[in-house]
Amino acid sequence: MRLVAVIVLALLAGCSGAPDLVDIRKVSPRIVLDIRYATPNNFTMQKMYDEAACFLRPATAARLSRAQAELEREGLGLKVYDCYRPLAVQRRFWALVPDERFVANPAQGSNHNRGAAVDLTLVDAKGNEVPMPTGFDDFTELAHSSYSYLPENIVQNRERLLRAMLNQGFLPLPTEWWHFDDPECARYSILDLPFSQLR
């Protein structure tokens, strides 16, 4: 009986082989991917990932899928910029921007390193991004979720994304309108695995 319990715990901890992460395309294929760190189109101006993939904890992916379904009823959807991020990449980010308002200190790790955070925006029914306060990875005050000196339609778009994510339990980051954490993120371990090991 003890052996069975150990095996079950190992499986739950992801020790049976592949870590406990899922590809969002297999959970909610209509979510649009624009994984910026797989391209030079990001604040580092360098390609940081080997492939454009979005891996998340299963519960986080399920929450995101429900947010997508809610938005689809309004003719909207989600476009994802970043999901799981290897810790090695977090260290590179910190070397460039050592400011915890915008980049998590790799000594503690980011919720992206846990596969329990997502960066994203809204798109219309044709997959076009709707206007938001700033572009992705903007480190100015305009990116703060409380910044209000904006056109009304942009504030409404930001609030619509916020409501859809809050409705599924996600927690926003005050300095980045695009960043949301799974409320259970603290129970997940930090990972430093390349995407190739998550297949």
The residue type of 111 is N
What is the distance between the alpha carbons of residues 108 and 103, in angstroms, rounded to a whole number?
11
Annotated domain spans of the chain: 18-198
Query: What percent of the chain lies above the pLDDT cut of 90?
Result: 84
What is the distance between the alpha carbons of residues 181 and 47, in angstroms, rounded to a whole number?
24
Assign a CATH topology to domain 18-198.
Answer: Muramoyl-pentapeptide Carboxypeptidase; domain 2 (3.30.1380)
Query: What per-residue confidence (pLDDT) applies to 88?
Result: 95
Strand 76-82 to 32-33 pairing = parallel
User: HSE of 86 in the Cβ direction (CA atoms, 13 Å)?
Assistant: 17
What is the distance between the alpha carbons of residues 188 and 51, in angstroms, rounded to a whole number?
23
The pTM of this model reads 0.89
What's CA 153's distance to the chain center, in Å? 24
For the segment 125-184, what is each residue's pLDDT rounded down to a tens digit?
A: 999 999 999 999 999 999 999 999 999 999 999 999 999 999 999 999 999 999 999 999
What is the distance between the alpha carbons of residues 105 and 90, in angstroms, rounded to a whole number?
8
Q: Which residues are catalytic?
A: 176
Query: What per-residue confidence (pLDDT) applies to 10?
Result: 35
